[in-house]
Structure 1
Amino acid sequence: MTVLALTTVRRGVTRGEPHGAIYLLDLEHGRAAHVVDWSRPAIDWGGYGGDRGLRGIVVEGDRVFVASSDSVLQFAPDFTLHETHCSPYLKHAQGMAVFDGRLYVASAAYDAVLALDLATGRFVWGLHLIEDEAGLRAAPFDPSGSLGPSPGNRLHLSSLFCDPRGMFIAGLRTRGLLRFDGQRIKRLVTLPEGARDVRPWRDGVLFNDSLNDAARFLTPERNRVFRTPHYPAEALSHDDCSEHVARQGFARGLCVLDADRFAAASSPLTVCVHDVASMATTQRINLDTDIRHAAHGMTAWPFDVPD
């Protein structure tokens, strides 16, 4: 059985309304369990997204880590909240990845990546990404000290992936996929502005092309494009809000399933399974008709699903 865990954001909602959620989606049976409603009143309600919702999600052992705007939430598999991990340099948290005993989280407001030591529960390392007239560089810093970066959000870091080759980072304004090898940072490939959920896969790069309502698998030889689904206006709710707030077809949330298939999400809360070998969309599941409601993070779920 293939089950995905999805975190979501409801853009443009007001104080008192749930502004995020977690779902468990059983792809085999096409059904979902709504396991968490996130309604935190003590956030900045400015803008349309801002502090709303839940972002990246990873599972490590028997712990589930979920990013809210300014903290990493640690849940048990039954979604009992056990711990909240905070850092003064964590704001507008985005994608997360686990590698070699550390949880890495993108902190968009600070153009930084922070590392949480999973054994101690402390943030122990930070990496500030800088691009200016001198070029692209990465500067390590101590997330518990006072000499870290100032807020900037110049790159809007959103994607994070780690493996033995290094740390792969991308943002709305990084102009491509970056790799940090422990000493230097390098842009590996140019991507369109607005690329989200970027990660290396097979012989190319997999990502959501949010500005063009598509998921894409880009290799040196081919550009495979899977369009996000669109629905008739009468089938949607809150479709009268401004496109600056939310729109249908916005691509966000991605998870590799096997050697040929991946799942990609879009608004209103819809998950599609795409097969790059057959160039077919083999499954589509819609969980909500509210165009403000979109997935953000997505990962494989190794535990049981509640009835």
Structure 2
Amino acid sequence: MVRGSQKGDSHGGIFLLDFENQKLDQVVDWNSGAIDFSGRGADRGLRGIAFDDERIFVAASDELFCYDPDFNVVGSWRNRYLKHAHEICRAGRKLFITSTGFDAVLVFDLDSEKFEWGFHLMGNPEQWQGFAFDPQDDQGPRPSNDQHINMVHVDRKGLFLSGLHTRAIVRVDNANRAQTLCSLPEGAHNARPFGDGIVFNDTQADRVRYVPRRGEQLAFIVPSYDPDTLEYKGVDDSSIARQAFGRGLCLLDERFIAAGSSPSTVSLYDIRSRDRVASVCMTMDIRNAIHGLEVWPFETAH
């Protein structure tokens, strides 16, 4: 199963999608009143997703929520440096959260349940700069959105960041030195190391790309629909995603990639066959968009 979150007025929330059985369940509806989302875009919607044993962590704009496997809210946390959160990931006993409104990444300790470390990124692909800060004091960065950091990935090789305007995947080492790992097109989402290369949503080109260090690159076409079938396409709101806007990505294994797009579509791509092998559209309402995807780890009836 792949779990996703999306934003919008009528279908926003958290979904469980079973590709094999073509089954879709909405397990959290933000319209229930549990979360107050006022406004649109950056200040509205569920974003990153990560799991820790029996806990499910989901990022909203300025708050980290924790659910149990039955999707009851069991905790939530805020921080002065958490704003416009996007993707999150877990590494060991730490949760890494992109704070797009501060060009930063925050670290939340899963045992102490406190924000304990932050890193602010500045510069450009030719010369990155940055500094670590304590999210518990007031000596951290000022609000900024120059890089629009929307992705974080952590493994034994380091901490990797990317965003709409970084035009690169940036690696941060143990000494807090930032350098370019590889270049990216402007406007990319979900860029991260994968295999011997990288994978990402090339959002402006309507493609999901796998770029190995050697060998042929793969570019999967993001699905699009007859414009006449789209709902609310005439709404004049710049924060509403256009169709085929690629955002949200997770790895099922070394062969399959799940990626999201607008309106609220999740597609499964096969690196071996070089083809899109499945696609499920939740709604044709263009106001709703996929944000985060992750593989469901629990054995439940959801």
Tell me if TM exceeds 0.5: yes
**Matches for 1:138-287 after TM superposition, within 5 Å:** 138-183=130-175, 184-220=177-213, 221-242=215-236, 244=238, 245-287=240-282
Once the 2 structures are TM-superposed, how far is the Cα of residue 277 of structure 1 from its aligned partner?
A: 1.5
Q: Which runs of 4+ in 1 moved over 4 A?
A: 40-44
Q: Which residue of 1 aligns with 2:121?
A: 129
Once the 2 structures are TM-superposed, how far is the Cα of residue 211 of structure 1 from its aligned partner?
A: 1.1
Once the 2 structures are TM-superposed, how far is the Cα of residue 294 of structure 1 from its aligned partner?
A: 1.1
Counterpart of 2:90 in structure 1: which amino acid? V
Return the alpha-carbon distance in structure 1 between the equivalents of residues 298 and 44 of structure 2: 27
Return the alpha-carbon distance in structure 2 between the equivalents of residues 171 and 218 of structure 1: 17
Return the alpha-carbon distance in structure 2 between the equivalents of residues 262 and 133 of structure 1: 27
Return the alpha-carbon distance in structure 2 between the equivalents of residues 49 and 123 of structure 1: 25
Once the 2 structures are TM-superposed, how far is the Cα of residue 19 of structure 1 from its aligned partner?
A: 7.3
SS class of match (1:252): coil
Q: Which residue of 2 aligns with 1:97?
A: 89
Counterpart of 1:169 in structure 2: which amino acid? L
1:93-152 Cα shifts (integer Å, max 9, x gaps)? 011111121101000001111011100100011111111799312201000001000001
Counterpart of 1:300 in structure 2: which amino acid? V
Distance 1:284 1:42, change over 3 A: closer
SS class of match (2:209): strand
Moved more, 35-44 or 67-76: 35-44
Count the aligned residue pairs. Answer: 297
Once the 2 structures are TM-superposed, how far is the Cα of residue 197 of structure 1 from its aligned partner?
A: 0.7
Return the alpha-carbon distance in structure 2 between the equivalents of residues 20 and 139 of structure 1: 36
Q: Which residue of 1 aligns with 2:289?
A: 294
Once the 2 structures are TM-superposed, how far is the Cα of residue 219 of structure 1 from its aligned partner?
A: 2.1
Return the alpha-carbon distance in structure 2 between the equivalents of residues 50 and 157 of structure 1: 13
SS class of match (1:109): coil
Return the alpha-carbon distance in structure 1 between the equivalents of residues 237 and 260 of structure 2: 18
SS class of match (2:107): strand
Distance 1:117 1:133, change over 3 A: closer
1:4-53 Cα shifts (integer Å, max 9, x gaps)? 1101112xxxxxx45731000011101111011114675552xx512111
Counterpart of 2:222 in structure 1: which amino acid? T
Q: What runs of 5+ residues in structure 2 fail to find an aligned partner?
A: none
Once the 2 structures are TM-superposed, how far is the Cα of residue 81 of structure 1 from its aligned partner?
A: 0.3
1:177-220 Cα shifts (integer Å, max 9, x gaps)? 01111111111101001110111001111000111111111123
1:64-93 Cα shifts (integer Å, max 9, x gaps)? 000000011011011100110111000000
SS class of match (1:211): helix
* 2:29 corresponds to which of 37, 49, 60: 37
Q: Which residue of 2 aligns with 1:13?
A: none
